[in-house]
Amino acid sequence: MLYINEQRIGGHLGKDAEIRPNPKTDRGWFVILRVATTKRWKDANGAKREATTWHDVELYTTSESYRDYLRDRAVKGALVYVVGETIHDEFVGADGHNRQRTLVRCESLQIISAPPEREDSRPAPAAAATPLRPQAAPTPAPAPSPYAQLGPAPRDMDFGS
């Protein structure tokens, strides 16, 4: 049996990344991202409509340079692409009541672009951006077909149908 639990989200950050130290160890940081995806359409009357869905995304890193990169680049308005697993979490809130939340545990994060007003004002990060999961090398273009020189098939050719 095949089981798949994966979300792919492309959207804009609603606020700067929230970075918290790991409370259980002296190592690592949890990074919380708030990603908005917006659907736009026209209703039956031709009026423009829009609906925004907010996604809570959590990732964990032990890399100080990656943490610093996220602090500098994962800012409100940045366009991001996230791949991760859906997690349903239960916890006891500050008021003592049981709470539930749904979040995406990030496996891969790409910051596509910074918001235009911040792109030039932020210094370049010291370390190059690296996704959590290494990306595959680009696939080389396929070799041309030996049949390409023959050109398109004649339209009146009978293929036995």
User: Which tokens hold the place of 27?
Assistant: 């190592």
CB 96 within 8 A of CB 70: no
In a domain, 74, yes or no: yes
In a domain, 44, yes or no: yes
Q: Mind giving me the DSSP string for 21-45?
A: E-SSSSS-EEEEEEEEEEEEEE-TT
Write out the H or E segment, with its range, that includes residue 143: none
In a domain, 96, yes or no: yes
Write out the residue range of the structural domain in which residue 85 sits.
7-113
Per-residue pLDDT 10s for the chain (161 aa) are: 889 999 999 999 999 999 999 888 888 999 999 999 999 999 999 999 999 999 999 999 999 999 999 999 999 999 999 999 999 989 898 999 999 989 999 999 999 998 776 544 555 554 444 455 545 555 665 665 555 555 555 555 454 54
Q: What is the pTM of this model?
A: 0.66
In a domain, 124, yes or no: no
In a domain, 34, yes or no: yes
Which residues make Cβ contacts (< 8 Å) with residue 16, sequence separation at least 6?
74, 75, 76
CATH of the domain at 74: 2.40.50.140
- pLDDT digit string (tens) for 140-158? 656 655 555 555 555 554 5
Residue type, 91: F
CA 80 to centroid of chain Cα atoms: 5
In a domain, 121, yes or no: no
CB 85 within 8 A of CB 107: yes
In a domain, 80, yes or no: yes
- pLDDT digit string (tens) for 116-142? 765 445 555 544 444 555 455 556 656
In a domain, 127, yes or no: no
Q: Are strands 48-61 and 98-113 parallel, antiparallel or unpaired?
A: parallel
**Nearest CA among 146, 161, 14 for reference residue 77:** 14
- Domain total of the chain: 1
